[in-house]
């Protein structure tokens, strides 16, 4: 299958087969795809929790309008954006550049200070929105990687973020649950898979200038 075929194959899975599990090998592939995601400045200001524990997922299901995907999928990916200590993350990023690329710190520290100031100068709501958007870039890599392996996924915003933050202890870690994605294999009973994909036409969606 080429990329377009795989994108036509995928859909937001509504009913997962709870008996089918993603293998450790395939899970490693999905994690590496997320790790290689683009992000603003390359900072990757997020952490991805992969929830397997059944008891935890039962509690999270209650905070997700009782949607069955939370408990029936093989794994639940929770994308969390950092909400504080940005300066420390920037410093860590600059150190990684120096260590991995063998560069001197000449100019890099100044670049780090520039990033810090740019983030600090953002209005609070703009900074919050910017930080959360980073997780969606990583989510897209997960969805593409799942399609590559013919693993099903369902990106979801329908959950109580504050409840997730509390149940997963995210507040103490300076994190916020931004978007989630149950991952696994579709159930034969999921009628959604038979529906025609509905998208805008090329003419309606694109405009050349």
Residues 44 and 22: their CA atoms lie apart, in Å, by 25
C-alpha distances (whole Å) from 91 to each of 109, 115, 160, 202 are 8, 10, 32, 44
Q: Which domains does the chain have, with CATH numbers?
A: 3-83+131-205 (3.40.109.10)
C-alpha distances (whole Å) from 200 to each of 7, 113, 148, 153 are 15, 43, 23, 22
Residues 165 and 175: their CA atoms lie apart, in Å, by 8
Count CB neighbours of 10 within 10 A: 19
Quote the pTM value: 0.96
Of 183, 151, 158, 179, the residue nearest 48 (C-alpha): 179
Cβ proximity of 20 and 183 under 8 Å: no
Query: pLDDT of 12-49, one tens digit each?
Result: 999 999 999 999 999 999 999 999 999 999 999 999 99
Query: pLDDT of 58-75, one tens digit each?
Result: 999 999 999 999 999 999
pLDDT by residue for the chain (209 residues), tens only, comes to 699 999 999 999 999 999 999 999 999 999 999 999 999 999 999 999 999 999 999 999 999 999 999 999 999 999 999 999 999 999 999 999 999 998 777 789 999 999 999 999 999 999 999 999 999 999 999 999 999 999 999 999 999 999 999 999 999 999 999 999 999 999 999 999 999 999 999 999 999 99
Residues 142 and 155: their CA atoms lie apart, in Å, by 10
Angle of the 108-120 helix axis to the 86-101 helix axis, nearest 10: 160
Number of H-type helices and E-type strands within the chain: 9, 4
Count CB neighbours of 30 within 10 A: 25
* Helix (H), strand (E) at residue 18: none
């Amino acid at each position: 299958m080429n990329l377009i075929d795989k994108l036509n194959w995928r859909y937001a899975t509504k009913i997962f087969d709870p008996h089918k599990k993603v293998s450790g090998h395939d899970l490693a592939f999905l994690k590496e795809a997320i790790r290689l995601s683009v992000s603003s400045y390359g900072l990757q200001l997020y952490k991805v929790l992969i929830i397997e524990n059944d008891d935890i997922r039962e509690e999270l299901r209650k905070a997700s309008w009782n949607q069955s995907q939370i408990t029936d999928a093989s794994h639940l990916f929770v994308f969390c954006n950092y909400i504080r200590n940005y300066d420390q993350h920037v410093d860590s990023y600059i150190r990684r550049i120096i260590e991995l690329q063998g560069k001197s710190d000449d100019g890099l520290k100044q670049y780090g200070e520039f990033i810090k100031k740019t983030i600090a100068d953002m209005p609070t709501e703009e900074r919050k929105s910017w930080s959360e958007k980073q997780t969606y870039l990583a989510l897209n890599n997960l969805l593409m990687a799942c399609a590559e392996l013919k693993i099903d996924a369902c990106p979801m915003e329908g959950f109580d973020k504050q409840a997730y933050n509390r149940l997963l202890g995210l507040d103490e870690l300076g994190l916020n649950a931004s978007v989630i994605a149950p991952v696994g294999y579709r159930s034969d009973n999921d009628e959604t898979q038979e529906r025609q994909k509905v998208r805008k036409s090329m003419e309606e969606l694109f405009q050349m200038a």
